[in-house]
Amino acid sequence: MYLITVLGNLLIILAVSSDSHIHTTMYFFLSNLSLVDICFTSTTIPKMLVNIQTQSRVITYAGCITQLYFFLLFAGLHDFLLAVMAYDRYVAICHPLHYVILINSRLSGRLILRSWIMGALNSLLQRLIVLPWSFCMDLGIPHFICELKHVIQLACSENFLNNMVMYFVAVLLGGGPLAGIIYSYSKRVSFIHAIPSAQGKYKEFSISVSHLSVVSFFYGTSLGVYLRSAATHSSHSSAAASVMYAVVTPMLNPFIHSLRNKDIKMALNRIYGMAGTKATIFLR
């Protein structure tokens, strides 16, 4: 699954960067999402594979804090990029005449840069909250990664304020983009129904369904982890939900965006055709 995730997202990045026909803001955001997905899975899965191979589940304190920092960084980036992509499609469908003016290369770069800054500040804040804690001697995380809520439960000191900060930041940085995504979809649905062409309706609906599928997988499973942890302490169900948004969702993204996207499939076919032509010339 890890290899499929890395190779699939690398193919999308290669297709977008090498094909001038799809050098648009939508695919620029998509290639950044693929890069974040590769980094997101690479913060946890290689360590888990090493643990399985060596039959050792030990991780150092510095390694745990470092994994926690990058996990929160790329999870937040994934969240912000989904909101940015929703805004891009909202402007393209609801304000097509102003799309070139509103969504240009300068704004696209700023949106990506701001997403990185907000993600880095969020993960840094959470890391600074964790560092001063005192932990008990018997440290055992019932999970395959150093997730924030499990690290909080290991603290010997009072962690009520830490829990409040964690949930406040989750609601602020997770709920804000989610509210924007829901609003954009409510507007897009009404505009798609107003499109007179059946082909135009199908194209916009296909793109919307692809993006909505990614949003549903990511938000549904990640919110399930934290909301379920507030009601129950089942480590098995929490780990299963974490696998869904930390492993399965990044793996499904290339399939969702490529199998339902004609432009990506055409770009991949061009790359395959060029590779085949070069191979034929070399063999002769």
Q: What are phi and psi of 40, to 5 degrees?
A: -60, -50
DSSP per-residue string spanning 146-180: --HHHHHHTBSS--HHHHHHHHHHHIIIIIHHHHH
The pLDDT assigned to 51 comes to 87
* Distance in angstroms (rounded) separating the CA atoms of residues 109 and 40: 21
CB 73 within 8 A of CB 118: no
Q: In terms of Cα–Cα distance, which of 224, 191, 212 is closest to 97?
A: 191
The pLDDT assigned to 183 comes to 86
The pLDDT assigned to 137 comes to 67
Q: 209: Cβ–Cβ under 8 A, 6 or more apart, which residues? A: 260
* Two structure tokens written together for 226: 């934290």
Longest dimension (CA), the chain: 73
The pLDDT assigned to 129 comes to 77
Per-residue pLDDT of the chain (284 residues; tens, 9 = 90+): 899 999 989 988 888 888 777 778 888 888 899 999 999 999 989 988 888 888 888 888 888 888 888 988 998 898 899 889 888 888 887 888 888 888 888 888 899 999 999 989 888 888 877 777 777 766 777 777 787 777 777 777 666 776 777 778 777 877 888 888 888 888 877 777 777 776 766 666 766 777 777 777 777 777 766 665 554 555 666 677 777 777 888 888 888 776 666 777 777 777 666 555 554 555 55
Q: In terms of Cα–Cα distance, which of 78, 76, 72, 9 is closest to 38?
A: 9
CB 99 within 8 A of CB 194: no
- CATH number assigned to the domain covering 2-283: 1.20.1070.10
H runs (alpha helix) in 95-104: 99-102
The pLDDT assigned to 224 comes to 66
The pLDDT assigned to 143 comes to 72
What's the whole-model pTM score?
A: 0.81
